[in-house]
Amino acid sequence: MFRRLAQSLVRTTQFRFVSHDYQAIVNAKKCVVFMKGTPDAPQCGFSRAVIQMLEAEGVDLNNEISAHNILEEDGMREEMKEFSDWPTFPQVYLNGEFYGGCDIMYDDYKNEKLRGILLEAKLTLPEH
């Protein structure tokens, strides 16, 4: 009985995200995007929308953000869903903290709050 208990304890606490060091990845840049496809060739409308919104706000996609293609990288698709506690992609991290997906970004973009949020995350944006 104790063996069972110990096993389940280990299972819940063990580091299940074995394919990549996600904590390091989300801390690597001020803005990290987990998407389907790449910024140059998005493979999903929602992923494309996120990239377009970042571009519209003037984010330098080459230097300020890092983008990860969850369709290509081993294990990332399933493990990021657990890591972020979020069931869908794209997933956007700002300063190591999960910000949201396309709908949330679009909402902020529509209400003109996105620029402020990106500036708060210390991204460098061009003057209006």
Partner 1 sequence: MNILRAVRSANFLARKTFSSVRPFSQSQILLVKEDELHKEIQNAFPEGQISVEDASNGCGTNFNIQVVCDSFDGKRAVNRNRMVNKVIKPYMEEIHMIRVETFTKAEFSSS
Minimum distance, C-beta of residue 98 to partner 1, in the bound complex (Å): 6
98 near partner 1, judged by CB under 8 A = yes
Which burial class, exposed, middle or buried, applies to 8 when counting CB atoms under 10 A from its CB (0-12, 13-18, 19+)? exposed
Decide: 30 and 123 in contact? Cβ < 8 Å.
yes
Site string for partner 1, 47-86 (x = CB under 8 A): --------------------------------------xx
Return the number of other C-beta atoms located less than 10 Å from residue 7's C-beta. 10
Binding site membership: which residues? 36, 44, 77, 89, 102-103
Q: Site residues (CB under 8 A) for partner 1? A: 85-88, 98-100, 103-104, 107-108
